[in-house]
Structure 1
């Protein structure tokens, strides 16, 4: 009213200005002005703000921040464009904070850098009647398309190299495991083969100590099994055919058959 702020109503709903400002409220429609200020939380996102890394690489950053008005009088009359001023301050603070940093720091330490930006902008924003909420650097990207393509090709080649190295290492490990397993199996088989004669000999000795006839029979059976397994032929002749037996023994070296006396066959 007449260039001065006579008061403010912070409660929503139906209100009566006379109860707040007295008779002066009747003059507001004629000599004053009423302002409505939205005090809800507002969110903004600034895209592709340019910064340079320590290596000289141009980078684009995306900044997300919140603001809320807490002093409408300062918001309306201390700054002609408070939202634009806040945006400029957030941008300049982010650029000054991130410029000339290592690329690794930009990509990995965004949380701490976001807190630094908020601490820089918050005191000034409170003087203009609003409160700065959360500030977060959401995106750090390369702006040079050619550089992005080169980096992508290098990453793909590196992934192929790593994949082939892992595959080769796996094959080497599998081959080593197979060779170790084959060696252990052959070692165990050799130990079993070496222990077999000892076990068989001990069993035969035990049989001989109990009954020698049983041992003779076992040996004859084993001999016949070996003979049958060899596939040799057997000629059976009468016991009185000594001449024929001698002739058969003379030709044994040239013939695979073996002559067995009839009494032996009859006994078996």
Structure 2
């Protein structure tokens, strides 16, 4: 015989508000019990949030808003999951309950706005930047800024938005724990459009040196040869990029 808990999870998978209401009629405390369970991997709210069942999410939040703060086995809240998947209406509903969740890191140290950036969820980025802009300045593992995550995951539109909204000199030129800025990463991954955007539309330092002593041009020269190399090299050279051996010593002429 199917248990009440199984029926609740099935309702979440299907996004059936009708089934949820029927269950609540039979057991008004079913959501309270769900919130008090220890060691649970994910709540029905997690399930509905990742699948994009907006009405189901709103009904649960109306009846048991505390579930918005529950974490799954990966330390992800429903907001982490909805942000990564791009379910903007669910994101809006969740941040009303607890704006502080915008700053919370998951098991990998990434908060919801960082996950949205990595996955190119521009609509979610707009909403989270409105609600908690400071969360976008948190660093993730290995000292990565949200701009590093955009470039690592080749999300140019998300990068454009973030630079437009918060792309000050310090953030654009920030380095990770390996001394790499976002131009180093873009060139290493042969991202032509991202490289062009960075050198023509941001305050990026084209001759910044990584912890290993390499400029962006050095990184390009040491990479595997590729058909994209000429375009990237020309783009960098046009903006004054140099190899480290070409950079005059400080104090020299």
TM-score normalized with structure 2 length: 0.20
Q: Which has the higher strand share?
A: 1
